[in-house]
Each structure stands twice: as C-alpha cells, then as structure tokens.
C-alpha cells in the first residue's frame, strides 16, 4: 500500500473512533440526552398543537388580487375567516 492510502485509512479509523467515543459519552450522559431530544420534542409539540405562538399575536396578511375572479375570491375567503390572521385585500384595477 502506498503511504497516501494507509494514511487515509488511518484518518478514517481515527474519525470513526472519535465519533463512536462521543456517541458513547452522549448516551451515558442523561442531561445531554434530555437537552438533545426531550426539549425539542416538547417545543415542537407545543407549537404544533397551537398552544404556543412564536409570533405573539395576529399575523397581518396582505393580498393583492390581480384576477378578481370567483376562484380568487374563494381563495381569499379561506384566509379571511381564520382567527389567527388579519387579512387586508387590495384589488388591482385598470390592468
């Protein structure tokens, strides 16, 4: 084997050994496991069920309706009756 291939294999072995050591340490440390997995799962669950909002209030949504058709109005109405958004609709005229 050439020196380059041998050193590549040696580097790869050292990297995998280091990864294995870190993973082993992480699994043994309960606080790290808690921070790494449990807290993000709790935050995702709270945001997912809607009990916790990062925005802190109503979201303002501005819609410019170039089409002004029944389908576009139906689409806009789906946002108008949402309780978490304040919708302002502007119809573009003269196009």
Instruction: Flag whether pLDDT at 18 surpasses 50.
Output: yes
Indicate if 38 and 74 belong to the same structural domain.
no
Token digits of residue 78:
């789906």
Can you give the pTM of this predicted structure?
Answer: 0.38
Distance CA 93, CA 67 (A): 10
Indicate if 1 and 17 belong to the same structural domain.
yes
Indicate if 43 and 65 belong to the same structural domain.
no
**What average pLDDT does the segment 73-85 reach?**
77
Indicate if 16 and 34 belong to the same structural domain.
yes
Domain count, the chain: 2
Instruction: Flag whether pLDDT at 42 surpasses 50.
Output: yes
Indicate if 12 and 47 belong to the same structural domain.
yes
Question: DSSP letter at 84?
Answer: T
User: Measured between alpha carbons, how far is residue 14 from residues 8, 11, 24, 65 in Å?
Assistant: 10, 5, 15, 60
86 three-class SS: strand
Confidence of residue 94 (pLDDT cuts 50, 70, 90): very low
Indicate if 43 and 86 belong to the same structural domain.
no
CA dihedral over 38, 42, 43, 45, signed as positive or negative: positive
User: Measured between alpha carbons, how far is residue 2 from residues 5, 9, 26, 52 in Å?
Assistant: 6, 11, 36, 59
Range of the structural domain that residue 89 is part of: 56-95
Indicate if 27 and 65 belong to the same structural domain.
no
């Amino acid at each position: 084997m050439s020196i380059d291939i041998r050193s590549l294999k040696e580097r790869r072995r050292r990297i995998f050994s280091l990864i294995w050591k870190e993973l082993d340490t992480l699994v043994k440390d309960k606080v790290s496991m808690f921070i790494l997995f449990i807290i993000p799962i709790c935050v995702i669950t709270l945001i997912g069920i809607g009990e916790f909002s990062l925005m802190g209030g109503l979201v303002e949504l501005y819609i410019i309706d170039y089409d002004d058709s029944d389908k576009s109005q139906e689409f806009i109405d789906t946002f108008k009756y949402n309780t978490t958004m304040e919708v302002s609709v502007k119809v573009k005229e003269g196009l």
